[in-house]
Amino acid sequence: MRCPCHSGELFESCCAKYLTVTVGGQPGYPPTAEALMRSRFSAFALNDADYLLRTWHSDERPESLELDPDQQWYLLEILGTQRGGPFDSDGVVTFRAHYRSAANRKLRDSFTETSSFAKVGKQWLYVKALDLQ
Ligand SMILES: [Zn+2]
């Protein structure tokens, strides 16, 4: 299966390395803020709320997360990145996420967000939306 994050890679060689739902083995660490963003999009697409909470900075993380089963996340576009590389401790990613209704696939929408990320130890974490359009 192609990775839900639209990297063009197979799921197993892309975000599956990081997600909680991965069967067997220790989850790895995304090397960049963009890779974390991609893996979080895949987690939205695969309903992996545990992973979303685990990769959310503790200062901003909600107590729990209910994912809407009608929301199908089908396309991620990375529009820009600042820092967020393997040797950085913070980064910014601007992306557009597209979703559709599972009940009526013609109902589609998207939003664009600029998000901040921080690296704590080996783990990149999502901090918060800086700008939501
Ligand atoms: Zn991926």
pLDDT in tens, the chain (133 residues): 899 999 999 998 899 999 976 656 677 899 999 999 999 999 999 999 999 999 999 999 999 999 998 999 999 999 999 999 999 999 999 999 999 999 998 999 999 999 999 999 999 999 999 976 5
In this predicted structure, what is the pLDDT of residue 84?
Answer: 98
In this predicted structure, what is the pLDDT of residue 28?
Answer: 87
Neighbours of ion ligand 1 (CB under 5 A): 3, 5, 7, 14-15, 38
CATH assignment of 11-132?
A: 3.10.450.50
Is there a contact between 113 and 123 (Cβ–Cβ < 8 Å)?
no
Q: What's the token pair of residue 55?
A: 């990769």
Q: Distance, CA 106 to ligand 1 centroid (Å)?
A: 25
Q: Distance, CA 45 to ligand 1 centroid (Å)?
A: 11
List, in sequence order, every residue forming a beta bridge with 95; answer none if it has no partner.
78, 113
